[in-house]
Structure 1
């Protein structure tokens, strides 16, 4: 499948997801408008103080995380290939009085440098569930590195690839960790609550952890840290339990695996 085909399928799928996500309890846009913070505390701590920074958010979807960084004082630019998602994001920025500190651009990741006319940033942020939509991480990392000014950093928080190996309970290995072949998916529902999709087909890729770190290092970035975590943002497996902070983890007393990870790297 060539790039035009998978990009078309994925864009149509995500354009369709927007109408579902915008009304979902999962994204809770009314709560966001009322001041709810969608960012995870550990990500805020690991990103550090962003006040006064120029921040680029790749694959920003409807812009809630992007605007949460703007609420913390950053000047933000969100990029997403779904025009429907960007329309929602721009509306939120206007409603929340953040339009002067937040802009949103329609572009796929690989074309972002051209869409942003070579502009550079103090920080690049990418949240969970982003890399699975990209076939070539070397190309992605080159975009990230070229988007940063010297001394700028990228922060990536992602779902751990080990989770793709396990069954629905999270108890048995049923998948090949090193299988990076494209997967054509056809699902009537997205990962949130809500009605069925009309554009149900998407194409996704798995990326082992070593591939992610090597791509960033190969783009000339210095790795500050790689941190694996035993918690995740949703009920990934039936065996997970929700903790007091709202994150999900395996029950105490039973073996665990990494469910998410975070990487921070600097352009020197």
Structure 2
């Protein structure tokens, strides 16, 4: 059962994270200002040329991924429920000279259609760690479909739900039910980056099997073009993982593997 307080709890938590994330080595805003990009090579390859396209990034946080697509030529809009994150994103856009091709809007994902005045986009992008904060994927997929122009595409990249089953300390012990439906209400003293403790420590997360995600998109009328499962991720979640290239972690040669990330592209007919 999902109580109505999940949105307020999570918004307060993410508002608090902004001050820590903006100063963290993990997000490396100085490096981004100098031209760095957090987008992975496979994302650029799978989505393809975005030049001249209208791209909406849902749950954009501080806007680095959004602005990276802008640097590749897209006309970008970032949307996030944290007003502090959007403020930081707007400042960052101005600092890197993209204020004329990037805008940022404060809104809950489920209210995105109204917040954007019914506007439609060539691309809707959703990045890593986003879906776990949404309780209703059927409604999410319907919102996405409503935001896409004719022949527009959703490009979704996220951590594979299998990874939430396994214990972080060894990556091999099954600790959590893959099909669990109850939300996880937790208190975490720190966010996932370096930096000081949080003041708003509460969060509510929701876990979605891969089949639920793909089925929600299909039910919303989108045509799945591909579902790719990847044997790598962006941090050393389990001790067995090794860094194969800067910022990319996977299993050593000969080690049995599970999928660590996945990507989906789905098109509105």
Q: Secondary structure at the match of 1:62?
A: coil
1:107 aligns with 2:134: no
State how far apart, in whole Å, the 2-side matches of 1:219 and 1:236 are: 33
Match of residue 165 from structure 1: 165
Q: CA deviation at 1:2?
A: 5.5
Give the structure 1 partner of residue 131 of structure 2: 131
Structure 2: gaps of 5 or more residues: none
Task: Give the corresponding residue for 1:185.
Answer: 186
Kindly indicate whether the alpha-carbon contact (under 8 Å) linking 2:14 and 2:82 is maintained by their aligned counterparts in 1. yes
Q: 1:24 matched to which residue of 2?
A: 24
Larger displacement relative to structure 2 (220-229 or 241-250): 241-250
Q: Structure 1 residue 191: deviation in Å?
A: 0.5
Runs of at least 4 residues off by over 3 Å: 1-4
Quick check: 29-38 or 171-180, which moved more?
171-180
Partners of 1:104 and 1:47 lie apart in 2 by: 21
Q: How many residues in Structure 1 have an aligned counterpart in Structure 2?
A: 268
| Normalised TM-score (structure 1) | 0.98
What's the secondary structure of 1:210's corresponding residue?
helix
Cα displacement string for residues 56-87 of structure 1 (whole angstroms, at most 9, x for unaligned residues):
00000000000000000000000000000000
Distance 1:4 1:175, change over 3 A: closer
In structure 1, the partner of 2:195 is: 194
The superposition leaves residues 172-204 of structure 1 with CA deviations (integer Å, 9 ceiling, x where unpaired) of 212111002111010000000000000000000
Aligned-pair CA distance for 1:91? 0.2
- Give me the CA root mean square deviation: 0.9
TM-score by length of 2: 0.98
Q: CA–CA distance in 1 between the matches of 2:247 and 2:175?
A: 28
In 1, the alpha carbon distance for the partners of 2:15 and 2:73 equals: 29
- Tell me the alpha carbon deviations over residues 101-157 of structure 1, each in whole angstroms, 9 at most, x when there is no partner: 000000010011000010000000000100000000000000100000110000000
**Range with bigger deviation, 256-265 or 164-173:** 164-173
